[in-house]
């Protein structure tokens, strides 16, 4: 009988890590990472605990500093109570506290006190004002009312009261205005008084009437034609300040309404002034600034910065008197956009050979940007000067400082065209011809290097050029003698 053989299944083979390459190094790395992580966590926890302890100690110390005086005071207070004479022991503590409370109460009361100036006239209190300035203003108004009464009184000036108010400092009381105080003084004077309206002319009392309402209506009628209702830019008033003030006045100073009108009209004091306010904008022209640069050829102009106009807002007041304009004044200017100046550079560099000295005079080449001379003085046709070739419009400058003795058009067969003659003194002169345009006029005083005209071909000329002649005490001479290298 065949014997069946039973095979036991194999267990899976376990991988031996030690057989892996580099197993020892890998283990050391994992161990080091774990150790360092645990170490840093422990250190962090210790530092956090130390910080918490320090914060607690600091807080407790601060609380102790704040409460120590109170605790000491309480301990001393308890000790005093436990003594044989507790009240006597408490006196040194209670007395300063009581004094402080009393001082605080006195100061608070003093700060809340309201002081006024109590005014008396002939021993009678008539009221009070807030300040000495109010008193002075009221006294001035009182004297003005008395003066008006004296001026208008017939003959009984002795019946007018003599009022000299005085004041004393007083606690409490409701202060009056200056006008109220003046009225109260007159009421207390015992004189004959009336309720009326005073006319103040340019700040001074001029008239008193009991027909103030009629006077106001008359003034309004005079101003009505010149008013512009609803237009905030129009103000209407009398040319001379006329102010109506209601109050108490002496009966002897009252004038009839029609007499006041006649007096004002006879002195031409009822002219109506109307002021119109106009707001508008206008440009601010930019400035032109020139700087000299030695790296540019003489006369060469280069724009460094373009000029831009600014903008300003002007407030103008136009004054009319009875409809006729009498004044216009700008009262305020606001710069909305500032102007940007134009900056140009002007060259000052002269090429070698363009400067010459002669008998104490310095001459420079008149067209420094160009030095080609098509013809010098002399030759078969007896040419009288140097023809400096240059494009039309090229600046021509003064060879030396001097006075313009001629700046005109030469009307001749062999015409100079537009030409300029400069007198440099000591018998020296220079001539510049065939200009397309002048930059100076006869009588001008020019400086060396100043532009006097521009190259052209006016007159008897073939092509644009500057015809340049020089004269000395001995007459005309060739510019080539001074500028031989050009």
Model pTM score: 0.53
In whole angstroms, give the CA distance from residue 177 to residue 169.
Answer: 17
Reported as a single tens digit per residue, the pLDDT across 313-323 is 999 999 999 99
Let me know: does 472 contact 428? Beta carbons within 8 Å.
yes
User: Is the pLDDT score of 1 beyond 60?
Assistant: no
pLDDT at position 155 is 44
Which residues partner with 158 through β-bridges?
Answer: none
Q: What is the mean pLDDT of residues 276-291?
A: 95
User: Is the pLDDT score of 381 beyond 80?
Assistant: no
Question: Would 277-345 and 351-481 be classified into the same CATH topology?
Answer: no
Please name the residues in contact with 290: beta carbons below 8 A apart, sequence gap of 6 or more. 343, 344, 345, 346
pLDDT at position 3 is 45
CATH number of 351-481: 2.70.70.10
Q: What is the mean pLDDT of residues 295-309?
A: 89
DSSP string covering 44-78: HHHHHHHHHHHHHHHHHHHHHHHHHHHHHHHHHHH
In whole angstroms, give the CA distance from residue 150 to residue 250.
Answer: 10
Q: How confident is the model at residue 2 (pLDDT cuts 50, 70, 90)?
A: very low
Q: Which CATH class is domain 277-345?
A: mainly beta
Task: Tell me what percent of the chain is helix, strand and coil, each rounded to the nearest 5.
Answer: 30, 35, 30
Tokens representing 71 are 């605790």
Pairing of strands 234-238, 193-201: unpaired
pLDDT at position 111 is 54
Name the more confident of 25 and 339. 339
Closest listed residue to residue 455, CA positions, set 445, 444, 446, 467: 467
Q: Where in the chain are the domains? A: 118-226+238-270, 277-345, 351-481
Name the more confident of 52 and 65. 52
Please name the residues in contact with 350: beta carbons below 8 A apart, sequence gap of 6 or more. 297, 298, 364, 365, 368
Pairing of strands 242-250, 445-446: unpaired
Name the more confident of 171 and 134. 134
User: Is the pLDDT score of 311 beyond 70?
Assistant: yes
For residue 445, give the H/E element and its range.
Answer: strand 445-446
């Amino acid at each position: 009988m065949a014997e069946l053989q039973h095979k036991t299944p194999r267990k899976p083979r376990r991988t031996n890590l030690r057989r892996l390459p580099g197993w020892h190094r890998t283990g050391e790395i994992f161990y080091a990472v774990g150790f360092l992580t645990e170490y840093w966590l422990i250190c962090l926890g210790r530092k956090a605990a130390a910080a918490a302890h320090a914060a607690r100690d600091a807080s407790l110390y601060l609380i102790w500093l704040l409460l120590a005086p109170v605790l000491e005071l309480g301990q001393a207070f308890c000790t005093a109570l436990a003594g044989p004479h507790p009240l006597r022991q408490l006196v040194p503590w209670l007395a300063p506290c009581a004094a402080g409370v009393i001082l605080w109460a006195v100061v608070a009361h003093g700060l809340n006190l309201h002081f006024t100036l109590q005014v008396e006239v002939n021993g009678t209190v008539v009221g009070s004002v807030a300040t000495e300035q109010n008193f002075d203003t009221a006294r001035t108004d009182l004297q003005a009312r008395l003066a008006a009464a004296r001026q208008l009184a017939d003959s009984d000036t002795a019946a007018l009261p003599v009022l000299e108010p005085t004041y004393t400092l007083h606690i409490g009381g409701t202060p009056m205005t200056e006008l109220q105080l003046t009225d109260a003084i007159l009421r207390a004077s015992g004189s004959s008084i009336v309720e009326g309206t005073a006319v103040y002319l340019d700040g001074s009392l001029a008239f008193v009437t009991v027909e103030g309402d009629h006077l106001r209506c008359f003034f309004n009628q005079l101003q009505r034609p010149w008013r512009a209702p609803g237009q905030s830019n129009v103000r209407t008033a009398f040319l001379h300040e006329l102010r109506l003030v209601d109050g108490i006045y002496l009966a002897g100073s009252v004038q009839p309404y029609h007499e006041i009108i006649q007096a004002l009209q006879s002195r031409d004091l009822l002219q109506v002034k109307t002021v119109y306010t106009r707001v508008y904008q206008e440009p601010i022209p930019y400035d032109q600034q020139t700087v000299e640069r030695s790296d540019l050829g003489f006369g060469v102009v280069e724009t460094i910065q373009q000029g831009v106009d600014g903008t300003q807002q002007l407030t103008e007041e136009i004054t009319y008197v009875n409809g006729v304009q009498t004044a216009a004044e700008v009262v305020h200017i606001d710069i909305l956009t500032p102007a940007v100046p134009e900056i140009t550079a002007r060259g000052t560099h002269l090429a070698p050979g363009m400067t010459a000295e002669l008998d104490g005079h310095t001459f420079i080449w008149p067209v420094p940007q160009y030095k080609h001379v098509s013809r010098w003085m002399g030759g078969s046709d007896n040419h009288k000067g140097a023809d400096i070739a240059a494009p039309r419009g090229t600046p021509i400058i003064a060879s030396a400082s001097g006075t313009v003795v001629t700046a005109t058009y030469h009307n001749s067969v062999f015409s100079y065209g537009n030409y300029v003659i400069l007198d440099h003194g000591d018998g020296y002169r220079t001539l510049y011809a065939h200009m397309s345009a002048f930059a100076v006029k006869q009588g001008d005083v020019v400086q060396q290097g100043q532009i006097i005209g521009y190259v052209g071909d006016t007159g008897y000329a073939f092509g644009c050029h500057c015809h340049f002649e020089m004269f000395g005490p001995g007459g005309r001479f060739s510019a080539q003698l001074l500028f031989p290298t050009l």
